[in-house]
Structure 1
C-alpha cells in the first residue's frame, strides 16, 4: 500500500524510526532491510561507526594547512577537481598557478612511517591501502603530465612545513606566469 511504513531499528547506530516501504524497495539492497549488517565490511558495530565517522575533507591537518596558506594571502579551492576530466579531488587547488595539494592520512594512504595494518580483515585492508597508494601515484602522474605541480603531505607532517612548501610553489608558479 502506498504510504505504508515499517518500523526499523538499526542497532549499529541506535537509531529507530519509521521508513516508508517505497524507500526500502527502491534503495535497500535486495534481500536486506536497513539495519541488517550481516554482510558488512566492518568487523564490529563499533568499527563500523568509527569508519563511517571518518571524513574525506576538512580534516584537522587540512584545516591547519589551509589556515596558514590563507593567512599568507593565497586563495584556493577546497576539495576540488584540478582537471574536470579527472575524477579525483585535491584538498587544495590553486587553479591559476596550477598547483594541487593533497594532505594524505597515514592509515588510508599507507604512510611508511606510521601505517600499521589492522588485525582483523587484514586481507581486505591490505588490498584497499595498496589500491589507494597506486591511485595516488597515478593521480600525481596524470596531473604532472597535464602541467600541474602536485604537492603531497602526510597528516603527521607539521602544518607549517607543508604550508611553506605550498606558498613557495604557488608563488613560484605565479611568478613564472607573469
Structure 2
C-alpha cells in the first residue's frame, strides 16, 4: 500500500515527533510535582535516559507512547505502509525496553512505566490514574505499570 504523502513530507512529519517533553510526560511530571515528589528528568547517566528519576525513592519512571513501544492496546495499530520496516522497528524497541529495564533493576533501581493509553482515558481523572504511582513510589515494590 502506498503512503498518502510523498517521502519528503512524511520525513518532515516524522522528524517533528518529539522524544522528550511530550504531553504525557509533562502531565505525569506536573502531577508528581503537585503532590510533593521531586525528581530529575532525562538523566543521561542512567541506561535508557528515564523520563523521570526520583533519587529519594531510588525509582525511575518511563512514560511510554503506545505506538512506539508496541503496547497492545486500543491506541496501537500496525501501520499498513512498510509493514516489514515497522514490525522490525517496534520489535527492536520492545527488546531494547526490556534490556534497559533489566539493566536498571540489576543496578538496584525500581522501574515504573506509565502508558500513554492510561493518560488518554478521558473517563477517569488524573488523580485516580496516578495515585497508584505515588503509592508505588513510597513502597518497596520493584516494578510498576500504569496502563488502561
Higher relative contact order (CA 8 A, sep 6+): 2
Where structure 2 has 5 or more consecutive residues not aligned to the other structure, the ranges are 120-125, 141-148
SS, match of residue 132 in structure 1: helix
Aligned to 1:88: 48
Aligned-partner Cα distance in 2 for 1:132–1:161? 29
**Pair member with larger Rg:** 1
Aligned residues: 129
Q: Deviations over 1:14-70 (max 9, x none)?
A: xxxxxxxxxxxxxxxxxxxxxxxxxxxx96222111110011111111111111100
Aligned-partner Cα distance in 1 for 2:91–2:27? 27
RMSD: 1.9
1:124–1:56: structure 2 CA closer, same or farther, 3 Å change rule?
A: same
TM normalised by structure 1 equals 0.66
TM normalised by structure 2 equals 0.78
Query: Is the Cα–Cα contact under 8 Å of residues 42 and 52 in structure 2 kept in the other structure?
Result: yes
- Equivalent of 1:51 in 1, 11, 14: 14
Higher strand proportion (structure 1 or 2): 1
Where structure 1 has 5 or more consecutive residues not aligned to the other structure, the ranges are 1-41, 174-178
Q: Which runs of 4+ in 1 moved over 6 A?
A: none
Aligned-partner Cα distance in 1 for 2:6–2:138? 47
Query: Is the Cα–Cα contact under 8 Å of residues 43 and 120 in structure 1 kept in the other structure?
Result: no
